[in-house]
Amino acid sequence: MSDIVLDVSDVNKTFGGLQALSHINLKIEKGRTHAVIGPNGAGKSTLLNVCVGRLTPDTGSVMFKGTNLTGRPPHEINQLGVARVFQTPEIFLDLTLIQNVEIAALASRDGSFSFNPFKSMFAEKELTDEAEHTLEDIGLYHLKDEHTGNLSRGDKRRLELAMCLIQHPSLLLLDEPTAGMSRHDTNRTIDLLKRIKERGMTKVIIEHDMHVVFSLADWISVLAQGAIIAEGTPEEIRGNPKVQEAYLGGAHV
Ligand code: ADP
Ligand code: MG
């Protein structure tokens, strides 16, 4: 039995004349926190979108635990056990925190809003208990009945993470989970992600904040201009001159 959770094989993606992803091969091992780093425009979000079904690759395939994800719609991929946090949080601003978390749980069970989520929502005490527990876990329980629109940017992103966690995914994909956060919020989020790591959840983190990457990742792939130019442990990547030159413009990591 292979312990590869996600296997991206020879994926190409172009936008018009732009080759956004070029022959991407990436294997994500079970239990790992695997970071994909690279400068702006390198293709990181495009890669994540291919993995979650928001974009279809021109060629190549994405396999998740032996199932081909290529061409499947996002909600189906989500139900197979892949959850993701996007660069811009996807939450319902008019609803409360607890309602957002409950909807995420329902979506992963029953498909994305192919039914009336509110009808069953209030009938399920169990669901509410779990949603409360998840909010407690990420430190937002005290805000559970607040409208989500009132939250700080950092709290919105942590709420989105709670919405992923309640789905108990086998694979969690995070696109710059600390983007736009203060250092304090960033550190709280790193602590939270470390705790998730202890639970053995496999994660892919797309990130350009080096502090976050080196605090969390056990393996790093470096993307530049749509191609993977290096892979290795944080120590190997830190000292790789090719990475420093291509990604950091020679700056010291
Ligand atoms: P990153 O997340 O590493 O900053 P992206 O994956 O967002 O990079 O973008 C990679 C390249 O593809 C960029 O040049 C970007 O402008 C382009 N791109 C991304 N999405 C689209 C799109 N939907 N249509 C056209 N070009 C796109
Ligand atoms: Mg991006």
Buried b (16+ CB within 10 A) or exposed e, 99-134: bbbbbbbbbbeeebeeeebeeebeeeeebbebbbeb
Look at residue 122 in the predicted model and tell me its pLDDT.
52
What is the length of the chain? 253
Same domain as 161, residue 45: no
Look at residue 218 in the predicted model and tell me its pLDDT.
94
Look at residue 243 in the predicted model and tell me its pLDDT.
82
Closest atom of ligand 1 relative to the 38 alpha carbon: 3
DSSP labels for 218-242? SEEEEEETTEEEEEE-HHHHHT-HH
Instruction: Tell whether 86 is covered by a domain.
Output: no
Q: How far is the CA of 111 from the centre of ligand 2 (A)?
A: 27
The one-letter amino acid code at 200 reads G
Ligand nearest to the CA of 41: 1
Determine which residue's CA is closest to atom 20 belonging to ligand 1: 46
Q: Locate 61 and state its tokens.
A: 């395939």
What is the tally of structural domains in the chain?
Answer: 2
Q: Classify 85 as helix, strand or coil.
A: strand
Same domain as 136, residue 119: yes
Separation CA 73–CA 85 (nearest Å): 17
Same domain as 174, residue 160: no
The one-letter amino acid code at 186 reads T
Separation CA 202–CA 181 (nearest Å): 23
Same domain as 142, residue 99: yes
Look at residue 253 in the predicted model and tell me its pLDDT.
44
Q: What is the DSSP letter of 116?
A: -
Same domain as 162, residue 178: no
CB 209 within 8 A of CB 215: no
Q: Which residues contact 33 (CB under 8 A, 6 or more apart)?
A: 193, 197, 202, 203, 205, 216, 217, 218, 219
Going residue by residue through the chain, which has 253 residues, state the pLDDT in tens, using 9 for 90 and above.
469 999 999 999 999 999 999 999 999 999 999 999 988 899 999 999 999 999 999 999 999 999 999 999 998 999 999 998 876 667 899 999 999 999 998 887 765 445 556 655 555 788 899 999 999 988 899 999 999 999 988 888 889 999 999 988 999 999 998 887 888 888 888 988 888 877 878 999 998 888 889 999 999 999 999 999 999 999 999 888 888 777 656 444 4
Same domain as 181, residue 159: no
Same domain as 175, residue 73: yes
Same domain as 145, residue 22: no
Closest atom of ligand 1 relative to the 42 alpha carbon: 3
pTM value is: 0.87
Q: How far is the CA of 15 from the centre of ligand 1 (A)?
A: 8
Look at residue 115 in the predicted model and tell me its pLDDT.
54
Picking from 168, 200, 222, the residue at the C-terminal end of a domain is 168
Q: Classify 75 as helix, strand or coil.
A: helix
Look at residue 241 in the predicted model and tell me its pLDDT.
87
Q: How far is the CA of 156 from the centre of ligand 1 (A)?
A: 24
Segments forming the whole domain that contains residue 112: 93-168
